[in-house]
Structure 1
């Protein structure tokens, strides 16, 4: 009996010790992420990761703050991409600011097809001491900056939220309060979801995910819209809102919904869940089909069907990479404004330049400079 009690006591002490270590670990990561986004030192440069490859990497480029630099986003008529790569808290000198060929393709395709819109690539920036960065290939930057309407900028989350309805919530630490945020990939997702609504509140305009390829001009589309991903959900990978009026009111409602329903343990609640819940309230229906058929029901907010942005469903993402699915996929997306490549799954699949799969064909036509600058594999 006594031996059993000692055994139970030993197990209990071990559990308490492990729990304490886990909490300490979580606390240290949360603090690291908060430092990542709140440091006040200015002027960060992108530096090559390796001297040996510095000839092929971006040696030094200043990323000006989007709140200060000219040109500023044109309200309601700018396109925004966000890059929210994670600060590596285990190595304080490694600020990971990345931009790969496929992301660069998304940016070029937007700039190519929308010459009258300014395209802003906003890096969620550590804004700290100059450290070492994962290099961005110089040919990719050269390809993008060949377009006069492409602008690379940085933002600091706290400064960016100042003066907005979400400022108080952010300062209360809610965004970093969940244990799930100790994992980089979840932190990136939550920051990305947060920033897209914040950007659209600040400027209006068109937000696009970095895993798209724009196929045609989008300048004259309605000022307020999103796209259905299924019969139950709208997606937040493509959203446009006006900088005033009903569009601005709707983005304000999205920020409020984000604040009220934020769940650090889930992805969908803070992502597509936000625009879906707000649209359901405005449109007075839970069915995306009814939203599409009756625009007056949604008070000027347009809901596009799956074919506009998500013609190839997430579960069929491999169709973009298989040559024998080329004709089928091209036919399916013939009238799409853009294609969404579902990077969460597809990023592990390399494409050899010259491949006869749909993704390669899109890239060759719609981001030609990036495609030909990327090397052997895209």
Structure 2
């Protein structure tokens, strides 16, 4: 008996369709197995990670009450304390290693009274500590290197009031500083740092954290507080040190103009007259702080204190008659601020090279006014006063900067 042609064709199509459906089913089932296996492994990895970082859950205890066994209520676990950043090594989600900065108050190598140079980085300062990485520019590294290069007998401390960690590998500018054995990178917490000082109670009031200009105000506060605690030299991070500061007078500051002193370069001794001047600065700062006025503290503090200490309102009189200033030496503007802030571009213009070099020929330090110059891009190969000074006084940072400095 012959099978009709139409029936034969239909049977063949059904057979082909069945094979295709069976094949698709097998593939989809295989994918499900793979996906479920991956999910299971991911869940297991997460579970193991939690086990490594979490304390074991306390087991419920049993007690007997009137012959019956009853489970006690689960004890309430105390909230885990905030991270203290004391671990030397930690990793983020991407697996990059961080190194914790040592707290200045806890580190083994403490500042030796009067034998220090201090730099302060207050970007990111806040009341509660959070994990923040160091932010250091090539020009800031230049300032630090130049201080360490010319003052091997002093220890250079870079204090970070906001940052708590740095990358394990570091950025090229931090690596350039590793060559110098007298550089220390440290962090500080403002509340702990001020403990036992005349400004402790004022800090606890929290006024500084309500400042409209918290970063510069925190820097102003910390420079006077640091000199009160340890004594030594304070330098802004936008300077280049040109010569040794080791034999400078025990207490000094510098005039910026004929009407005002500046606080970008200062030195105060850890005892005696310098310590008293630092205490007066902290008192003045508290009395005149204005959260809405950028210039209420900073240069205004040392200017007011110097006028009282020297018993004169004339800056030139302070410079000419240091014996009237009770141990405080006031240098003229050529020492640290030979180029006024209104002429900051002279450091970055080739056409101003000779004029700028002549004006700063007797300076201990040049100050490049970062508030105005930080956005001024400068090619390393350009011949300017700043690149010329950088090549000589911070050669490693300059080399690490590459094409732009």
Report TM bin, short chain. Answer: 0.7 to 0.9
The residue aligned with 2:33 is none
Matches within 5 A, 1:126-165: 138-165=171-198
Give the alignment partner of residue 42 of structure 1, picking from 82, 85, 91.
85
Given that residues 233 and 268 in structure 2 are in contact (C-alpha distance below 8 angstroms), is that contact kept between their aligned partners in structure 1?
yes
SS in 2 for 1:61: strand
Show the counterpart of 1:98: 135
- Normalised TM-score (structure 1): 0.80
Write the mapping of 1:271-310 to structure 2, written as runs, cut at 5 A: 271-310=298-337
Give the equivalent residue in structure 2 for 1:65: 103
Structure number with greater CO (CA < 8 Å, separation at least 6) is 1
Equivalent pair of 1:200/1:206 in contact (CA under 8 Å)? yes
CA spacing shift, 1:279–1:88, aligned 2, 3 Å: closer
Determine the structure 1 residue equivalent to 2:144: 107
Please list, as runs of the form range in 1=range in 2, the aligned pairs for 1:1-378 lying within 5 A after superposition: 41-43=84-86, 59-86=97-124, 95=132, 97-125=134-162, 138-178=171-211, 180=212, 186-378=213-405
- Whether the 8 Å contact between 1:79 and 1:119 is mirrored in structure 2 is yes
Q: 1:64/1:271 Cα in 2 relative to 1: closer, same or farther (>3 Å)? A: same
Deviation at 1:71?
1.4
Give CA-to-partner distance per residue, 1:58-95, whole Å, 9 cap, x none: x5322101111121111011000001112699xx9873
Residues 351 and 94 (structure 1 numbering): CA distance in 2 closer, same or farther, change over 3 Å?
farther
- Whole-Å Cα distance in 1 between the matches of residues 88 and 333 of structure 2? 40
CA distance in structure 2 between the partners assigned to 1:175 and 1:338 by the alignment: 30
8 Å Cα contact 1:88-1:94 kept in structure 2: no
TM-superposed deviation, 1:125: 3.2
Q: Deviation of residue 49 (structure 1)?
A: 10
Structure 1 stretch 199-208 or stretch 80-89: which is displaced more? Answer: 80-89
Q: 1:202: Cα distance to partner?
A: 0.3
Which whole-Å CA distance do the structure 1 matches of 2:297 and 2:93 have between them? Answer: 37
The match for 1:26 is none
What secondary structure, in the 3-state scheme, does the structure 2 residue paired with 1:307 have? Answer: helix
Aligned residue pairs total: 323
Structure 1 residues 283 and 156 mapped into 2: Cα distance closer, same or farther (>3 Å)?
same
**3-state SS of paired residue (2:274):** helix
CA RMSD of superposed structures (Å): 2.5
- Report which stretch shifted further, 292-301 or 39-48: 39-48
Asked if the contact 2:250–2:267 (Cα under 8 Å) also holds between the matched residues in 1, the reply is: yes
Provide the TM-score with structure 2 as the length reference: 0.75
Taking a change above 3 Å as real, the CA distance of residues 119 and 77 of structure 1, as seen in their structure-2 partners, is same
Which sections of structure 2, spanning at least 5 residues, go unmatched?
1-81
Which structure: larger Rg? 2
> Per the alignment, do residues 176 and 297 of structure 1 end up closer, same or farther by CA in structure 2, a change over 3 Å counting?
same
Q: Residues 328 and 135 from structure 1, CA distance in 2 versus in 1: closer, same or farther, beyond 3 angstroms?
A: farther
